[in-house]
Protein backbone atom coordinates (compact mmCIF):
# COMPACT_ATOMS: atom_id res chain seq x y z
CA UNK A 1 0.00 0.00 0.00
CA UNK A 2 1.33 3.42 -0.94
CA UNK A 3 1.85 5.90 1.88
CA UNK A 4 -0.32 9.01 1.82
CA UNK A 5 1.30 12.42 1.52
CA UNK A 6 2.33 14.45 4.56
CA UNK A 7 1.21 18.10 4.75
CA UNK A 8 4.15 19.11 6.88
CA UNK A 9 6.84 18.30 4.32
CA UNK A 10 6.78 21.64 2.55
CA UNK A 11 9.77 23.88 1.94
CA UNK A 12 10.26 27.05 -0.08
CA UNK A 13 13.04 29.19 -1.39
CA UNK A 14 13.40 32.31 -3.53
CA UNK A 15 16.07 33.99 -5.55
CA UNK A 16 16.17 37.14 -7.57
CA UNK A 17 16.41 36.69 -11.32
CA UNK A 18 18.82 38.70 -13.39
CA UNK A 19 16.05 39.45 -15.89
CA UNK A 20 12.60 38.42 -17.02
CA UNK A 21 12.85 35.03 -18.70
CA UNK A 22 16.06 34.08 -16.92
CA UNK A 23 15.11 31.88 -13.98
CA UNK A 24 17.54 31.44 -11.13
CA UNK A 25 19.40 28.14 -10.88
CA UNK A 26 18.88 27.78 -7.14
CA UNK A 27 17.30 29.39 -4.13
CA UNK A 28 18.93 31.64 -1.54
CA UNK A 29 17.37 30.58 1.78
CA UNK A 30 15.29 27.51 2.46
CA UNK A 31 12.32 28.17 4.73
CA UNK A 32 9.11 26.61 5.96
CA UNK A 33 5.65 28.13 5.74
CA UNK A 34 2.92 28.70 8.29
CA UNK A 35 0.03 28.41 5.85
CA UNK A 36 -0.74 28.37 2.17
CA UNK A 37 1.32 26.39 -0.32
CA UNK A 38 4.69 26.55 -1.94
CA UNK A 39 3.26 26.57 -5.43
CA UNK A 40 -0.11 27.75 -6.60
CA UNK A 41 -1.78 27.28 -9.97
CA UNK A 42 -5.10 28.84 -10.79
CA UNK A 43 -6.65 27.18 -13.84
CA UNK A 44 -9.51 28.83 -15.67
CA UNK A 45 -11.60 26.51 -17.81
CA UNK A 46 -15.04 26.94 -19.24
CA UNK A 47 -17.68 25.11 -21.18
CA UNK A 48 -17.34 24.96 -24.94
CA UNK A 49 -20.83 24.06 -25.86
CA UNK A 50 -22.85 23.58 -28.96
CA UNK A 51 -26.12 21.91 -29.68
CA UNK A 52 -26.12 18.24 -30.50
CA UNK A 53 -28.34 15.20 -30.28
CA UNK A 54 -27.80 14.89 -26.50
CA UNK A 55 -28.26 17.33 -23.64
CA UNK A 56 -24.68 16.98 -22.41
CA UNK A 57 -21.93 19.55 -22.61
CA UNK A 58 -19.99 19.07 -25.81
CA UNK A 59 -16.58 20.01 -24.45
CA UNK A 60 -14.43 22.45 -22.52
CA UNK A 61 -11.71 24.99 -23.12
CA UNK A 62 -8.79 26.19 -20.99
CA UNK A 63 -8.55 29.96 -20.93
CA UNK A 64 -5.84 30.62 -18.41
CA UNK A 65 -3.30 29.15 -16.02
CA UNK A 66 -1.89 31.53 -13.44
CA UNK A 67 1.17 30.15 -11.65
CA UNK A 68 2.26 31.71 -8.39
CA UNK A 69 2.57 31.10 -4.70
CA UNK A 70 0.74 32.11 -1.56
CA UNK A 71 2.10 31.31 1.85
CA UNK A 72 2.63 32.60 5.35
CA UNK A 73 6.05 32.84 6.95
CA UNK A 74 7.80 33.90 10.12
CA UNK A 75 9.83 37.09 9.78
CA UNK A 76 13.19 35.52 10.42
CA UNK A 77 16.27 37.71 10.19
CA UNK A 78 17.17 37.27 6.56
CA UNK A 79 13.80 36.28 5.11
CA UNK A 80 11.97 39.46 6.02
CA UNK A 81 14.43 41.62 4.13
CA UNK A 82 14.22 39.40 1.08
CA UNK A 83 10.44 39.75 0.97
CA UNK A 84 10.51 43.50 1.59
CA UNK A 85 12.99 43.93 -1.25
CA UNK A 86 10.76 42.00 -3.65
CA UNK A 87 7.75 43.97 -2.46
CA UNK A 88 9.30 47.41 -2.95
CA UNK A 89 12.11 47.04 -5.48
CA UNK A 90 15.23 48.74 -4.10
CA UNK A 91 17.80 47.69 -1.52
CA UNK A 92 20.94 49.67 -0.74
CA UNK A 93 23.41 47.83 1.46
CA UNK A 94 26.45 48.90 3.42
CA UNK A 95 28.41 47.22 6.14
CA UNK A 96 27.87 48.28 9.69
CA UNK A 97 30.16 46.48 12.10
CA UNK A 98 29.39 42.78 11.94
CA UNK A 99 26.04 43.45 10.29
CA UNK A 100 24.90 44.57 6.89
CA UNK A 101 22.76 47.67 6.83
CA UNK A 102 19.93 47.49 4.30
CA UNK A 103 17.76 50.40 3.31
CA UNK A 104 14.78 49.06 1.40
CA UNK A 105 12.61 51.52 -0.48
CA UNK A 106 10.10 51.76 -3.27
CA UNK A 107 11.53 51.90 -6.79
CA UNK A 108 10.79 50.90 -10.33
CA UNK A 109 10.92 48.27 -11.69
CA UNK A 110 10.17 45.40 -9.33
CA UNK A 111 12.65 42.51 -9.35
CA UNK A 112 11.64 39.11 -10.70
CA UNK A 113 12.06 36.03 -8.55
CA UNK A 114 12.17 32.32 -9.09
CA UNK A 115 10.21 30.49 -6.42
CA UNK A 116 11.20 26.97 -5.51
CA UNK A 117 8.78 24.70 -3.72
CA UNK A 118 8.90 21.25 -2.28
CA UNK A 119 5.87 19.11 -1.51
CA UNK A 120 7.01 15.79 -0.05
CA UNK A 121 9.20 14.28 -2.79
CA UNK A 122 8.08 16.67 -5.53
CA UNK A 123 10.23 19.68 -6.35
CA UNK A 124 8.81 22.51 -8.40
CA UNK A 125 9.68 26.02 -9.45
CA UNK A 126 7.72 29.04 -10.63
CA UNK A 127 9.54 31.45 -12.92
CA UNK A 128 9.31 35.19 -13.46
CA UNK A 129 7.44 35.89 -10.26
CA UNK A 130 6.62 39.34 -8.97
CA UNK A 131 5.46 39.85 -5.43
CA UNK A 132 1.85 40.96 -5.52
CA UNK A 133 1.03 41.47 -1.84
CA UNK A 134 2.98 41.31 1.38
CA UNK A 135 1.05 41.57 4.61
CA UNK A 136 2.90 41.77 7.91
CA UNK A 137 1.19 41.33 11.24
CA UNK A 138 2.22 41.42 14.86
CA UNK A 139 0.57 41.26 18.25
CA UNK A 140 2.26 42.06 21.54
CA UNK A 141 5.63 40.34 21.60
CA UNK A 142 4.77 37.45 19.33
CA UNK A 143 6.82 36.95 16.20
CA UNK A 144 6.34 39.29 13.28
CA UNK A 145 4.57 37.23 10.66
CA UNK A 146 4.20 37.68 6.94
CA UNK A 147 1.89 36.52 4.21
CA UNK A 148 3.06 36.78 0.63
CA UNK A 149 1.28 36.29 -2.67
CA UNK A 150 3.25 35.97 -5.88
CA UNK A 151 2.30 35.88 -9.54
CA UNK A 152 4.54 34.14 -12.06
CA UNK A 153 4.68 33.18 -15.70
CA UNK A 154 5.55 29.49 -15.68
CA UNK A 155 5.55 26.48 -13.38
CA UNK A 156 7.87 23.52 -13.78
CA UNK A 157 8.16 20.13 -12.14
CA UNK A 158 11.83 19.46 -11.52
CA UNK A 159 13.59 16.17 -12.12
CA UNK A 160 15.89 16.64 -9.13
CA UNK A 161 15.69 18.54 -5.83
CA UNK A 162 16.48 22.24 -6.02
CA UNK A 163 19.27 23.57 -3.86
CA UNK A 164 20.05 26.74 -1.92
CA UNK A 165 23.22 28.73 -1.39
CA UNK A 166 22.73 30.34 2.02
CA UNK A 167 22.02 28.94 5.46
CA UNK A 168 18.47 27.78 6.10
CA UNK A 169 16.08 30.25 7.66
CA UNK A 170 14.48 28.53 10.63
CA UNK A 171 12.76 30.16 13.55
CA UNK A 172 15.46 29.09 15.97
CA UNK A 173 17.90 31.11 13.89
CA UNK A 174 16.15 34.24 15.15
CA UNK A 175 13.03 36.21 14.25
CA UNK A 176 11.85 39.77 14.68
CA UNK A 177 9.33 40.85 17.28
CA UNK A 178 8.37 44.04 19.09
CA UNK A 179 10.03 43.03 22.36
CA UNK A 180 12.34 45.92 23.20
CA UNK A 181 11.23 47.77 20.09
CA UNK A 182 9.47 51.09 19.73
CA UNK A 183 6.54 52.74 18.02
CA UNK A 184 5.81 56.38 17.38
CA UNK A 185 2.78 57.85 15.71
CA UNK A 186 2.92 61.47 14.67
CA UNK A 187 6.32 61.67 16.38
CA UNK A 188 4.91 60.71 19.78
CA UNK A 189 5.49 57.39 21.48
CA UNK A 190 2.37 55.29 21.71
CA UNK A 191 1.50 52.03 23.39
CA UNK A 192 0.83 49.75 20.48
CA UNK A 193 -0.81 46.37 20.96
CA UNK A 194 -1.04 44.91 17.52
CA UNK A 195 -1.19 45.83 13.89
CA UNK A 196 -0.93 44.92 10.27
CA UNK A 197 1.01 46.48 7.42
CA UNK A 198 0.02 45.64 3.89
CA UNK A 199 2.02 46.33 0.73
CA UNK A 200 0.02 45.77 -2.43
CA UNK A 201 1.52 46.12 -5.89
CA UNK A 202 -1.82 45.40 -7.60
CA UNK A 203 -0.22 43.25 -10.28
CA UNK A 204 -2.11 42.81 -13.52
CA UNK A 205 -1.36 39.78 -15.71
CA UNK A 206 -0.23 40.49 -19.24
CA UNK A 207 -2.11 37.85 -21.19
CA UNK A 208 -1.44 37.00 -24.81
CA UNK A 209 -3.44 34.80 -27.15
CA UNK A 210 -0.53 32.52 -27.99
CA UNK A 211 -0.15 30.90 -24.57
CA UNK A 212 -2.30 29.94 -21.66
CA UNK A 213 0.04 31.41 -19.04
CA UNK A 214 0.70 35.15 -18.68
CA UNK A 215 3.72 36.49 -20.54
CA UNK A 216 4.41 39.01 -17.77
CA UNK A 217 2.82 41.02 -15.00
CA UNK A 218 2.56 44.75 -14.82
CA UNK A 219 2.47 46.44 -11.42
CA UNK A 220 -0.46 48.72 -10.80
CA UNK A 221 -0.73 51.36 -8.12
CA UNK A 222 1.36 50.69 -5.03
CA UNK A 223 -0.63 50.96 -1.82
CA UNK A 224 0.79 50.84 1.68
CA UNK A 225 -1.88 50.41 4.31
CA UNK A 226 -1.67 50.15 8.06
CA UNK A 227 -3.99 49.09 10.82
CA UNK A 228 -2.88 49.61 14.40
CA UNK A 229 -4.46 49.22 17.80
CA UNK A 230 -2.97 51.64 20.29
CA UNK A 231 -3.71 52.48 23.90
CA UNK A 232 -3.70 56.28 24.12
CA UNK A 233 -3.31 58.52 27.14
CA UNK A 234 -5.58 61.20 25.68
CA UNK A 235 -7.50 61.91 22.49
CA UNK A 236 -4.99 64.35 21.05
CA UNK A 237 -4.50 62.15 18.00
CA UNK A 238 -8.24 62.05 17.36
CA UNK A 239 -8.40 65.84 17.75
CA UNK A 240 -5.59 66.34 15.28
CA UNK A 241 -7.16 64.10 12.70
CA UNK A 242 -10.63 65.63 13.04
CA UNK A 243 -9.74 69.27 13.68
CA UNK A 244 -6.29 69.44 12.16
CA UNK A 245 -4.70 70.38 15.47
CA UNK A 246 -4.18 68.28 18.62
CA UNK A 247 -5.20 71.18 20.86
CA UNK A 248 -7.94 72.67 18.72
CA UNK A 249 -11.38 72.30 20.23
CA UNK A 250 -13.71 73.24 17.39
CA UNK A 251 -13.86 73.47 13.65
CA UNK A 252 -13.54 70.32 11.65
CA UNK A 253 -10.60 70.40 9.26
CA UNK A 254 -11.60 70.38 5.60
CA UNK A 255 -8.48 68.46 4.59
CA UNK A 256 -7.01 65.08 5.58
CA UNK A 257 -4.33 64.95 8.22
CA UNK A 258 -1.00 63.27 7.72
CA UNK A 259 0.96 61.56 10.46
CA UNK A 260 4.34 59.90 10.50
CA UNK A 261 4.90 56.32 11.60
CA UNK A 262 8.11 54.87 12.94
CA UNK A 263 8.29 51.36 14.30
CA UNK A 264 11.12 49.08 15.27
CA UNK A 265 11.34 45.34 15.76
CA UNK A 266 14.34 43.55 17.20
CA UNK A 267 15.98 40.17 16.84
CA UNK A 268 18.76 39.33 19.20
CA UNK A 269 21.33 41.89 20.31
CA UNK A 270 22.27 43.22 16.88
CA UNK A 271 19.52 42.85 14.31
CA UNK A 272 16.88 45.52 13.93
CA UNK A 273 14.05 46.19 11.50
CA UNK A 274 12.75 49.75 11.38
CA UNK A 275 9.82 51.07 9.42
CA UNK A 276 9.59 54.79 8.67
CA UNK A 277 6.64 56.26 6.81
CA UNK A 278 6.63 60.06 6.92
CA UNK A 279 3.35 60.78 5.20
CA UNK A 280 0.46 58.58 6.33
CA UNK A 281 -3.15 59.63 6.08
CA UNK A 282 -4.64 58.40 9.33
CA UNK A 283 -8.21 57.74 10.34
CA UNK A 284 -9.16 57.24 13.97
CA UNK A 285 -12.56 56.27 15.33
CA UNK A 286 -13.63 57.90 18.56
CA UNK A 287 -12.94 55.45 21.39
CA UNK A 288 -15.75 53.10 22.31
CA UNK A 289 -17.20 53.16 25.80
CA UNK A 290 -17.82 50.05 27.87
CA UNK A 291 -19.57 49.57 31.22
CA UNK A 292 -16.92 46.99 31.98
CA UNK A 293 -14.26 49.69 31.98
CA UNK A 294 -10.64 49.15 31.17
CA UNK A 295 -8.15 50.99 29.01
CA UNK A 296 -9.34 52.93 26.00
CA UNK A 297 -8.06 51.59 22.70
CA UNK A 298 -7.88 53.44 19.42
CA UNK A 299 -8.06 51.75 16.07
CA UNK A 300 -5.86 53.66 13.65
CA UNK A 301 -6.17 53.07 9.91
CA UNK A 302 -3.50 54.60 7.73
CA UNK A 303 -2.52 54.81 4.10
CA UNK A 304 0.80 56.11 2.85
CA UNK A 305 1.39 58.69 0.20
CA UNK A 306 4.75 59.96 -0.95
CA UNK A 307 5.94 63.15 0.69
CA UNK A 308 7.29 66.15 -1.16
CA UNK A 309 10.83 64.93 -0.53
CA UNK A 310 10.05 61.80 -2.54
CA UNK A 311 9.89 59.45 0.43
CA UNK A 312 7.01 57.06 0.99
CA UNK A 313 8.33 54.24 3.13
CA UNK A 314 11.75 53.16 4.26
CA UNK A 315 12.64 49.86 5.85
CA UNK A 316 16.01 49.92 7.55
CA UNK A 317 17.27 46.44 8.31
CA UNK A 318 20.38 45.26 10.08
CA UNK A 319 21.07 41.58 9.51
CA UNK A 320 23.71 39.16 8.30
CA UNK A 321 22.83 39.09 4.61
CA UNK A 322 24.89 41.15 2.21
CA UNK A 323 22.41 41.21 -0.63
CA UNK A 324 19.37 39.56 -2.07
CA UNK A 325 20.47 39.03 -5.63
CA UNK A 326 21.23 36.35 -8.15
CA UNK B 1 18.73 72.37 -27.02
CA UNK B 2 19.17 69.05 -25.33
CA UNK B 3 21.68 68.95 -22.55
CA UNK B 4 23.14 65.56 -21.81
CA UNK B 5 23.76 65.55 -18.12
CA UNK B 6 26.99 64.26 -16.72
CA UNK B 7 27.08 63.53 -13.05
CA UNK B 8 30.15 63.54 -10.88
CA UNK B 9 29.55 61.47 -7.81
CA UNK B 10 31.39 60.84 -4.61
CA UNK B 11 30.66 57.69 -2.65
CA UNK B 12 31.72 57.87 0.97
CA UNK B 13 31.55 54.14 1.62
CA UNK B 14 31.23 50.96 -0.43
CA UNK B 15 27.60 50.29 -1.13
CA UNK B 16 25.73 47.57 -2.97
CA UNK B 17 22.47 48.56 -4.63
CA UNK B 18 19.83 46.16 -5.88
CA UNK B 19 17.45 48.14 -8.02
CA UNK B 20 14.88 45.94 -9.63
CA UNK B 21 16.77 43.33 -11.63
CA UNK B 22 20.02 45.30 -11.60
CA UNK B 23 22.77 44.80 -9.04
CA UNK B 24 25.39 47.52 -8.80
CA UNK B 25 28.42 47.75 -6.54
CA UNK B 26 29.76 51.22 -5.87
CA UNK B 27 33.26 51.45 -4.48
CA UNK B 28 34.09 54.43 -2.31
CA UNK B 29 35.58 57.30 -4.27
CA UNK B 30 34.69 59.65 -7.05
CA UNK B 31 33.56 58.67 -10.51
CA UNK B 32 31.18 59.53 -13.27
CA UNK B 33 28.05 57.48 -13.65
CA UNK B 34 27.74 56.31 -17.22
CA UNK B 35 25.07 53.65 -17.22
CA UNK B 36 21.44 54.53 -16.78
CA UNK B 37 21.08 51.95 -14.03
CA UNK B 38 24.05 53.46 -12.17
CA UNK B 39 22.57 56.91 -12.47
CA UNK B 40 19.22 55.74 -11.17
CA UNK B 41 20.81 53.83 -8.32
CA UNK B 42 22.83 56.85 -7.27
CA UNK B 43 19.85 59.12 -7.39
CA UNK B 44 17.94 56.61 -5.31
CA UNK B 45 20.75 56.57 -2.76
CA UNK B 46 20.88 60.35 -2.68
CA UNK B 47 17.14 60.59 -2.10
CA UNK B 48 17.12 58.31 0.92
CA UNK B 49 16.90 59.37 4.48
CA UNK B 50 20.10 59.28 6.49
CA UNK B 51 22.24 57.33 6.91
CA UNK B 52 22.28 56.25 3.25
CA UNK B 53 22.00 59.74 1.81
CA UNK B 54 25.15 60.69 3.67
CA UNK B 55 27.05 58.16 1.60
CA UNK B 56 26.53 60.03 -1.63
CA UNK B 57 27.34 63.50 -2.81
CA UNK B 58 27.00 64.48 -6.40
CA UNK B 59 27.04 67.32 -8.80
CA UNK B 60 25.24 67.36 -12.07
CA UNK B 61 26.75 69.52 -14.77
CA UNK B 62 26.26 69.99 -18.46
CA UNK B 63 28.89 68.66 -20.88
CA UNK B 64 31.80 70.95 -21.67
CA UNK B 65 30.54 71.82 -25.12
CA UNK B 66 30.62 75.42 -26.43
CA UNK B 67 27.26 77.08 -26.74
CA UNK B 68 26.33 78.09 -30.28
CA UNK B 69 26.70 81.82 -30.96
CA UNK B 70 23.49 83.77 -30.51
CA UNK B 71 21.68 84.64 -33.73
CA UNK B 72 21.51 88.33 -32.92
CA UNK B 73 22.72 90.83 -30.40
CA UNK B 74 19.24 91.44 -29.13
CA UNK B 75 19.13 91.41 -25.35
CA UNK B 76 17.24 88.57 -23.72
CA UNK B 77 13.61 89.20 -23.04
CA UNK B 78 12.92 90.55 -19.59
CA UNK B 79 10.98 88.31 -17.25
CA UNK B 80 7.23 88.61 -17.36
CA UNK B 81 6.07 91.14 -14.83
CA UNK B 82 4.69 89.54 -11.70
CA UNK B 83 5.96 86.07 -12.47
CA UNK B 84 7.79 84.53 -9.56
CA UNK B 85 11.41 83.58 -9.86
CA UNK B 86 12.29 79.99 -10.50
CA UNK B 87 12.13 78.14 -7.20
CA UNK B 88 15.37 76.64 -6.06
CA UNK B 89 15.29 72.88 -6.29
CA UNK B 90 15.69 71.14 -3.02
CA UNK B 91 18.71 69.03 -2.41
CA UNK B 92 17.60 65.39 -2.76
CA UNK B 93 17.70 63.94 0.69
CA UNK B 94 20.12 66.59 1.83
CA UNK B 95 22.85 64.60 0.19
CA UNK B 96 24.82 67.34 -1.46
CA UNK B 97 27.35 69.42 0.31
CA UNK B 98 26.29 72.96 1.10
CA UNK B 99 26.56 75.02 -2.01
CA UNK B 100 26.73 72.01 -4.27
CA UNK B 101 24.67 71.91 -7.43
CA UNK B 102 21.19 70.62 -6.84
CA UNK B 103 21.21 68.61 -10.01
CA UNK B 104 18.73 70.72 -11.93
CA UNK B 105 20.57 73.92 -12.79
CA UNK B 106 21.86 74.38 -16.31
CA UNK B 107 25.59 75.00 -15.98
CA UNK B 108 26.22 75.21 -19.65
CA UNK B 109 27.66 78.72 -19.44
CA UNK B 110 30.08 77.98 -16.70
CA UNK B 111 31.16 74.74 -18.27
CA UNK B 112 31.56 76.00 -21.81
CA UNK B 113 35.15 76.05 -22.94
CA UNK B 114 36.57 79.32 -24.17
**pLDDT number for residue B73:** 52
Asked if the C-beta of A95 comes within 8 angstroms of chain B's C-beta atoms, the answer is yes
Asked if the C-beta of B89 comes within 8 angstroms of chain A's C-beta atoms, the answer is no
**pLDDT number for residue A178:** 94
Q: Residue B72 — pLDDT band, cuts 50, 70, 90?
A: low
pLDDT tens string A43-81: 999 999 999 999 999 999 999 999 999 999 999 999 999
pLDDT for B17 beyond 80 = yes
Asked if the C-beta of B87 comes within 8 angstroms of chain A's C-beta atoms, the answer is no
pLDDT for B92 beyond 90 = no
Report the residue of A14, A90, A274 to disrupt the B interface, i.e. the one with the largest count of B CBs within 10 Å: A90
CB-CB neighbors (< 8 A) of B37 in chain A: none
Q: Residue B109 — pLDDT band, cuts 50, 70, 90?
A: very low
**Is the pLDDT higher at B41 or at A249?**
B41
Mean pLDDT of A257-282: 93
**pLDDT number for residue B67:** 60
Q: Do A326 and B23 touch (CB under 8 A)?
A: yes
**pLDDT number for residue B79:** 43
pLDDT for B11 beyond 80 = yes
**pLDDT number for residue B66:** 60
CB-CB neighbors (< 8 A) of A323 in chain B: 16, 18, 23
**pLDDT number for residue A296:** 94
pLDDT for A222 beyond 80 = yes
Mean pLDDT of A14-21: 96
Mean pLDDT of A238-267: 88
Q: Residue B90 — pLDDT band, cuts 50, 70, 90?
A: very low
**pLDDT number for residue B81:** 41
Average pLDDT, chain A: 93
**pLDDT number for residue A114:** 98
ipTM of the predicted assembly exceeds 0.85 = yes
3-state secondary structure chain A: CCCCCCCCCEEEEEEECCECCECCCCECCEECCCEEEEEEEEEEEEECCCCCCCCCCCCEEEEEEEEEEEEEEECECCHHHHHHHHHHEEEEEEEECCEEEEEEEECCCCCCEEEEEEECCEEEEEEEEEEEEEEEEEECCCECEEEEEEECCEEEECCCCCCECCCCECHHHCECEEEEEEEEECCEECEEEEEEEEEECCCEEECCCCCCCCCEEECCCCEEEEEEEEECCCCHHHHHHHHCCCCCCCCCCCCCCEEEEEEEEEECCCEEEEEEEEEEEEEECCCCCCCCCCCCCEEEEEEECCCCCCCCCEEEEEECCCCCCC
**Is the pLDDT higher at A312 or at B79?**
A312
**pLDDT number for residue B104:** 39
CB-CB neighbors (< 8 A) of A110 in chain B: 20
Mean pLDDT of A267-278: 93
pLDDT for A326 beyond 60 = no
Interface contacts (A, B; CB < 8 Å)? 76
**pLDDT number for residue B100:** 39
pLDDT for A236 beyond 70 = yes
**pLDDT number for residue B93:** 39
pLDDT for B75 beyond 60 = no
pLDDT tens string A162-173: 999 999 999 998
**pLDDT number for residue B8:** 85
Q: Do B47 and A101 touch (CB under 8 A)?
A: no
pLDDT for B80 beyond 90 = no
Q: Which of A17, A89, A92 is opposite residue B45, by nearest beta carbon?
A: A92
CB-CB neighbors (< 8 A) of A85 in chain B: 18
pLDDT tens string A85-133: 999 999 999 986 668 999 999 998 999 999 999 999 999 999 999 999 9
Report the residue of A14, A16, A89, A94 to disrupt the B interface, i.e. the one with the largest count of B CBs within 10 Å: A94
Amino acid sequence: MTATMQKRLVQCSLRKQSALGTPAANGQFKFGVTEGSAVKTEIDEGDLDTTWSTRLVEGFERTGVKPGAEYGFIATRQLIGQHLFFALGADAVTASGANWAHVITEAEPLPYATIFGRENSDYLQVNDCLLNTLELSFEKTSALKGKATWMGNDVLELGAPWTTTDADERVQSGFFNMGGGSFTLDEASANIQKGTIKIDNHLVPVDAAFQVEPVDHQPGVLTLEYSFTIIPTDIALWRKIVFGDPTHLSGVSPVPQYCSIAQQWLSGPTDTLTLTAPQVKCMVAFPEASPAGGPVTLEVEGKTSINLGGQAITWALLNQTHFYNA
Amino acid sequence: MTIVAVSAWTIAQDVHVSLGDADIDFVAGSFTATEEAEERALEMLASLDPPMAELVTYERVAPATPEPAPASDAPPEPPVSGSPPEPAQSDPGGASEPGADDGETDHSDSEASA
